[in-house]
Chain A
């Protein structure tokens, strides 16, 4: 299991993918990305695994500078 997060410069989460399987060797597996879209793979934690993908949008954001998932206050 891998968890990828696509976010914008502001750190807003645009999409979350919890991936069981994905292609290998592709330069860019997540299709065409917009100019203000960035991909972040986050460490898998139990708490994250229990969340539905849409719940990431509500509960988390990304610290763009630190490339880190953070909880919303």
Chain B
């Protein structure tokens, strides 16, 4: 079994070269073991690559550690000439551990030819071959990728993203909460998806921690979004499920005309007596809208009912006010006998010359044409009145002659008869005053009292 050994010095000990070599080797190897065991390989500090000339970059001083724990230390900036590389190419700048003998340490005396020191001089390489900086074995530390443009000049943008930083190795589970300084764990230190609900303190996810649109429906517990959580005007129409807005959800007075769909207010939606005059547009109430018998007298303004509005035959006696049918209201020939109240037509109502024979209540006794010889007289009896039944009769005589040159006259004659006299005969006698036989056309009426 191999052991770690270090030089054990004691008095009077005789030291040889190997003892000094062992002394150095012990520390070098132990330091490299420390580096390997406690640090990951990569750039520890410095070693930045910057453009210093068109075809030159310079590596700043710095330190790196390779996979063997060897320290790669550049004490001074080092210029790298890139003129040997073609235009439009990418070149990679790498550094590695290298031990060399410096001629300044060359010792040649007393038959000895050796070097008094071993120089740890970093090896710098520039190549167009792309190294694998992150998954490589760590013997080569990539510092930068430099792009040469069409002229072979260094682009300003030198890519250092493939640099791997050296760090401390920490065993799994070693860094506990106590080992972490406050606020040491930044977002970059946390792998994606590692912070679950249990890692979050209650109330730790404040509004500002939430990315825009991060809280989708699945993240919101049922019933959690109350009025306070909803922004003003957040609930748009398409957020509301059909028929979700019941009457209880609508504040009083909020449904105006613009909220109502055309034709949506049906009869059943109107409360009784809800439609007053102010709600009815002018000219909008037609005949169909009026209920039967809805238009009572007090609904009709004075003088609104013109003749056009009255159906034929609808104005009967009951509709006419007393004294309303004045003369001008009567059409010519409108008042026939049936319209005149019995006994209503007095003298004042009769126009002059208006009562013709035909208008009188008469009894026609005679309607005849009679021939009368020259100078002769011919009589016609009309009635015989019993004396115990007096009947004073006025006779109306209408007569003319159709014979040329005729002259005649007539007289009425009353003659008593019977013994003792029981009756009175009333007659008319026509006398021909001519010397020729004439023809007399006549009518004799009795004018009746009743």
**By CB atoms of chain A within 10 A, which of B372, B378, B415, B429 has the most?**
B378
In the complex, the answer to whether B372 meets A21 with C-beta atoms within 8 Å is no
Known: A15-B372, A29-B380. A54 touches B429 (CB 8 A): no
Q: Does B152 reach chain A (CB closer than 8 Å)?
A: no
Q: Check A26–B439 contact: CB distance below 8 A.
A: no
* A47 within 8 A of partner (CB): no
Q: A21–B368 contact, CB under 8 A?
A: yes
Q: Mark B405-440, 1 if CB is under 8 A from A, else 0.
A: 000000000010000000001010100000001110
Give a binary string over B341-377; 1 marks a CB under 8 Å from any A CB, 0 the rest.
0000000000000000000000011111111110010
Q: Is the CB of B371 within 8 A of A56?
A: yes
Q: Which residues of A contact B366 (CB under 8 A)?
A: 19, 21-23
> Is B379 engaged at the interface, CB distance under 8 Å to the other chain?
yes
Q: Report yes or no: A19 in contact with B367, Cβ–Cβ below 8 A.
A: yes
Q: Which residues of A from 1 to 41 have beta carbons under 8 Å from B? A: 6, 13-23, 26-32
User: A16 to B437, alpha carbons, bound, how many Å?
Assistant: 11
Pair B371/A30 contact, Cβ less than 8 Å? no
Residues of A within 8 A of B403 (CB): 54
A16 touching B379 in the complex, CB below 8 Å, given contacts A23-B365, A52-B439, A54-B438: no
Does residue A53 face the partner (Cβ distance < 8 Å to B)? yes
Tell whether, in the assembled complex, residue A22 and residue B370 are in contact, meaning their CB atoms are under 8 Å apart: no
Write the nearest CB–CB distance from B268 to chain A, whole angstroms. 81
Contacts of B368 in A (CB 8 A): 17-22
Q: Which among B365, B376, B415, B437 is the interface contact of A22 at CB below 8 angstroms?
A: B365
Q: For residue B381, which residues in chain A have a CB less than 8 angstroms away from its CB?
A: 23, 26, 28-31
A–B complex contacts, Cβ < 8 Å, 9 sampled: A17-B370, A18-B369, A18-B370, A20-B368, A27-B384, A31-B380, A54-B371, A54-B437, A56-B371
Identify B379's interface contact among A19, A22, A31, CB under 8 A: A31
A56 to B371, CA, bound (A): 9
Cβ of B124 under 8 Å from chain A: no
A34 to chain B minimum Cβ distance, whole angstroms, is 10
A49 to chain B, nearest CB (A): 11
Knowing that A23-B383, A26-B425 touch, tell me 13 more A-B residue pairs with CB under 8 angstroms: A14-B376, A15-B378, A17-B370, A19-B367, A22-B365, A22-B380, A26-B381, A29-B381, A30-B381, A32-B379, A52-B371, A53-B371, A54-B403
What residues of B have a CB within 8 angstroms of the CB of A21 in the complex?
364-368
Residue of B nearest to A33 (CB): B379
CB distance from B128 to the nearest CB of A (A): 159
**Contact indicator A57/B382 (Cβ below 8 Å):** no
B364 to chain A, nearest CB (A): 5
B382 touches A17 (CB 8 A): no
Which of A15, A17, A20, A54 has the most CB atoms of chain B within a 10 A radius of its CB? A54
Q: Which of B364, B369, B429 lies in contact with A53, CB distance below 8 A?
A: B369
10 nearest interchain CB pairs? A31-B379, A53-B371, A20-B367, A21-B367, A17-B370, A19-B368, A53-B439, A16-B371, A18-B369, A54-B371
Check if B402 is an interface residue, CB within 8 A of chain A: yes
Assess the A14–B373 pair: CB atoms within 8 A: yes
Task: Please give me the residue from chain B that is nearest to A32 by CB atom.
Answer: B379
Q: How far is the CA of A20 from the CA of B366 in the complex (A)?
A: 7
Q: Provide the residues of chain A in CB contact with B382, threshold 8 Å.
A: 23
B427 pairs with A31, CB closer than 8 A: yes
CB distance from A20 to the nearest CB of B (A): 4
Residues from chain A with a CB closer than 8 A to the CB of B365 are 21-23
